[in-house]
């Protein structure tokens, strides 16, 4: 066990003691004893110079962006080790540029943003004979175009968004109203009946915003029906599974959790209440939250985690926590449960510190790694930003600094940033996902930048970190 983990455990145990929670099992009392002199390494490094950190984040964003410009300009992604371009569907949809554009606007990188907008304006066409993933194209492309439109008022971005939204609409033509996993952008042909709540329930922020901006209600109607149809199929104890068939509406996977495959369904229940002031969404979240607390919340050795359970019986099926699940503190905080969020964030940070950067999946009971990769994911940074916003506790700045230092140390390459095949060996992988620009760098930047960089209360971030403007009535509403 590293010094950093011991230190983090000590502090977590100290706060657990305040909450009268037991010392972690599997750890000696001295490792976890409250009041130990060792502060967490994150804070031991001294107060954080936030403006200097914001400048570092911006410089690292530019390092990666210039690598993309040099070796993959106009393509979906850069492969950062081989320095070659990669297109998801064999033909570019400008995915990195669209996902990255609002981050540049927020960082004030106007030259880069203008070049990128020119590229999108002149080269992006959705009239392509390719079957795209409804969920991924919605959160990255539709979300990116809409937020960049709201930031720049470039009408071409809204026109592209409307064209894309219209081409995605056939996805909702299933017997249940749940969207097919794939839709062909040229023919409208759909495929992929087996999907999951994250994919059926993570569309309403983007489609609802498109309705608001175009005055065409159809987009909102389809996405809301998909969300409600997902929620309606919850089990008698209030949980959803992780696989569903859009033709029959039957569950094909009954494992319940808050991680990948379900994650952003819960996120959108909360956020749709905030973005649109939609009471149905808020009610759906509140019934879901009660079931999550009852069956998924887990107190393992004094630390709060959320495990897996069977959706029908509530029986624990796994004690796994993941990099993807690390968004959940942000959602809890946004829904008003800041204390739970803070405890859960400490657990995620414990996972990060095990190997100096977070693994994809951890068994929190045995504290062993179940999937060793690190895919440049943003979720833990997102939660750090939210918690700092809600608490102003400088511990979150220190946490962010530790994570950013580790991220630069292990993932930086000559041309950009690379995922890790293993957080244990730190071997890099030839992969630089678009959400590095949309989310990871954006959340690091917003954590350290002055609040004026983006008015948190005026927007709701989609699950790809694209800020969408709250309607005035919804903005006044506060928590759902």
Q: Which residues are catalytic?
A: 136, 263, 360, 379
Q: How far is the CB of 31 from ligand DMJ (least distance, A)?
A: 31
Size of the site for ligand DMJ (CB under 6 A): 10
Backbone angles phi, psi at 308, to 5 degrees: -105, 150
Q: 333: how many CB neighbours lie within 10 A of its CB?
A: 24
Cα separation, 79 vs 87, in Å, equals: 10
**Which is nearer to ligand DMJ, 150 or 379 (by Cβ)?**
379
Residue 464 is a binding residue for ligand DMJ (CB under 6 A): yes
Query: Could you tell me what percentage of the chain is helix, strand and coil, using 3-state DSSP and rounding each to the nearest 5?
Result: 55, 10, 35
Return the range that interacts with ligand DMJ (CB under 6 A); candidates 82-90, 173-181, 233-241, 373-381: 373-381
**Which is nearer to ligand DMJ, 181 or 300 (by Cβ)?**
181
Residue 257 is a binding residue for ligand DMJ (CB under 6 A): no
Q: How far is the CB of 140 from ligand DMJ (least distance, A)?
A: 7
DSSP state of 451: G
Q: How far is the CB of 464 from ligand DMJ (least distance, A)?
A: 5
Instruction: Determine whether 391 is exposed, middle or buried from the number of CB atoms within 10 Å of its CB (0-12, 13-18, 19+).
Output: middle
Residue 264 is a binding residue for ligand DMJ (CB under 6 A): yes
Residue 395 is a binding residue for ligand DMJ (CB under 6 A): no
Q: Write out the binding residues for ligand DMJ, residues 298-327 only, by CB under 6 A.
A: 324
Give, in degrees to the nearest 5, the angle at Cα 320 between 12 and 383: 55
Which tokens sit at 339? 């204390």
Q: Report the C-alpha dihedral over residues 52, 57, 58, 60, rounded to 10 degrees.
A: 120
DSSP string covering 428-443, please?
B-S---THIIIIIHHH
**Which is nearer to ligand DMJ, 196 or 264 (by Cβ)?**
264
Q: How far is the CB of 265 from ligand DMJ (least distance, A)?
A: 10
**Do 419 and 433 form a contact (C-beta atoms < 8 A)?**
yes
Q: Write out the binding residues for ligand DMJ, residues 51-80 only, by CB under 6 A.
A: none
Residue 206 is a binding residue for ligand DMJ (CB under 6 A): no
Q: How far is the CB of 129 from ligand DMJ (least distance, A)?
A: 25
**Which is nearer to ligand DMJ, 265 or 301 (by Cβ)?**
265
Q: 250: how many CB neighbours lie within 10 A of its CB?
A: 11
Which tokens sit at 335? 């829904």
Q: Report the C-alpha dihedral over residues 84, 90, 91, 92, rounded to 10 degrees.
A: -50
Pairing of strands 467-469, 255-256: unpaired
DSSP string covering 247-262, please?
TT--EEE-EE-SSTTT
Q: Write out the binding residues for ligand DMJ, residues 435-454 only, by CB under 6 A.
A: 435, 439
**The one among 377, 395, 442, 470 contacting ligand DMJ by CB under 6 A:** 377
- Between 3-18 and 338-354, two packed helices, what is the crossing angle to 10 degrees? 160
Return the range that interacts with ligand DMJ (CB under 6 A); candidates 156-164, 179-187, 350-358, 375-383: 375-383
State which residue has the least CB distance to ligand DMJ. 463
Residue 463 is a binding residue for ligand DMJ (CB under 6 A): yes
Cα separation, 222 vs 5, in Å, equals: 47
133-152 footprint of ligand DMJ as x/- string (CB under 6 A): ------x-------------
Backbone angles phi, psi at 98, to 5 degrees: -65, -40
Q: How far is the CB of 132 from ligand DMJ (least distance, A)?
A: 14
**Which is nearer to ligand DMJ, 48 or 145 (by Cβ)?**
145
Integer Rg of the chain from CA: 21
Return the range that interacts with ligand DMJ (CB under 6 A); candidates 219-227, 236-244, 376-384, 472-480: 376-384
**Do 252 and 264 form a contact (C-beta atoms < 8 A)?**
no
Q: How far is the CB of 377 from ligand DMJ (least distance, A)?
A: 4
**Do 168 and 175 form a contact (C-beta atoms < 8 A)?**
no
User: Would you give the distance in Å from CA 457 to the centre of its chain?
Assistant: 18
**Which is nearer to ligand DMJ, 5 or 198 (by Cβ)?**
198
Q: How far is the CB of 85 from ligand DMJ (least distance, A)?
A: 20
**Which is nearer to ligand DMJ, 374 or 396 (by Cβ)?**
374
**Which is nearer to ligand DMJ, 235 or 264 (by Cβ)?**
264
Using CB under 6 A as the criterion, which residues of the chain lie in contact with ligand DMJ when the complex forms? 139, 264, 324, 377-379, 435, 439, 463-464
């Amino acid at each position: 066990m590293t010094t950093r983990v011991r230190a983090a455990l000590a502090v977590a145990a100290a706060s657990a003691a305040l909450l009268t929670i037991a010392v972690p099992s599997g750890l000696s009392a001295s490792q976890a004893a409250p009041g130990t002199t060792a502060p967490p390494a994150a804070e031991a490094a001294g107060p954080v110079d936030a403006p200097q950190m914001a400048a570092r984040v911006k410089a690292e964003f530019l390092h990666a962006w210039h690598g993309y410009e040099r070796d993959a300009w106009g393509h979906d992604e850069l492969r950062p080790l081989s320095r070659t371009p990669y297109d998801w569907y064999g033909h570019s949809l400008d995915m990195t540029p669209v996902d990255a554009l609002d981050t540049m606007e927020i960082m004030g990188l106007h030259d880069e943003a203008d070049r990128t907008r020119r590229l999108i304006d002149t080269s992006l066409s959705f009239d392509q004979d390719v079957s795209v993933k409804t969920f991924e194209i919605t959160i990255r492309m539709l979300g990116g175009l809409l937020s960049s439109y709201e930031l720049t008022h470039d009408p071409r971005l809204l026109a592209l968004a409307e064209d894309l939204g219209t081409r995605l609409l056939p996805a909702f033509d299933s017997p249940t109203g749940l969207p097919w996993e794939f839709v062909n952008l040229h023919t409208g042909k759909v495929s992929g009946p087996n999907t999951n709540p994250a994919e059926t329930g993570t569309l309403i922020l983007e489609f609802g915003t498109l309705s608001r901006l175009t005055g065409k209600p159809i987009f909102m109607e389809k996405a809301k029906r998909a969300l409600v149809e997902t929620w309606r199929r919850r089990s008698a104890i209030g949980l959803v599974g992780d696989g569903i068939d859009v033709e029959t509406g039957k569950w094909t996977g009954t494992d319940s959790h808050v991680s990948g495959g379900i994650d952003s369904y819960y996120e959108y229940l909360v956020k749709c209440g905030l973005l649109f002031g939609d009471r149905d969404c808020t009610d759906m979240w509140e019934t879901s939250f009660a079931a999550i607390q009852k069956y998924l919340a887990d107190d393992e050795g004094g630390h709060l985690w959320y495990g897996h359970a069977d959706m029908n019986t509530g029986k624990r099926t796994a004690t796994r926590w993941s990099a993807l699940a690390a968004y959940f503190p942000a959602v809890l905080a946004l829904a008003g449960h800041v204390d739970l969020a803070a405890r859960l964030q400490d657990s995620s940070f414990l996972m990060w510190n095990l190997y100096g950067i977070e693994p994809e999946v951890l068994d929190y009971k045995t504290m062993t790694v179940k999937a060793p990769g690190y895919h440049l994911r943003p979720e833990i940074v997102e939660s750090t930003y939210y918690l700092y916003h809600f608490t102003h506790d400088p511990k979150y700045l220190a946490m962010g600094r530790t994570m950013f230092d580790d991220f630069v140390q292990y993932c930086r390459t000559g041309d950009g940033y690379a995922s890790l095949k293993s957080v244990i060996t730190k071997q890099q992988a030839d992969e630089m996902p678009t959400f590095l620009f949309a989310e990871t760098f954006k959340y690091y930047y917003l954590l350290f930048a002055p609040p004026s960089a983006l008015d948190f209360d005026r927007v709701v971030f989609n699950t790809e970190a694209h800020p969408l403007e709250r309607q005035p009535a919804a903005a006044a509403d506060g928590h759902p």
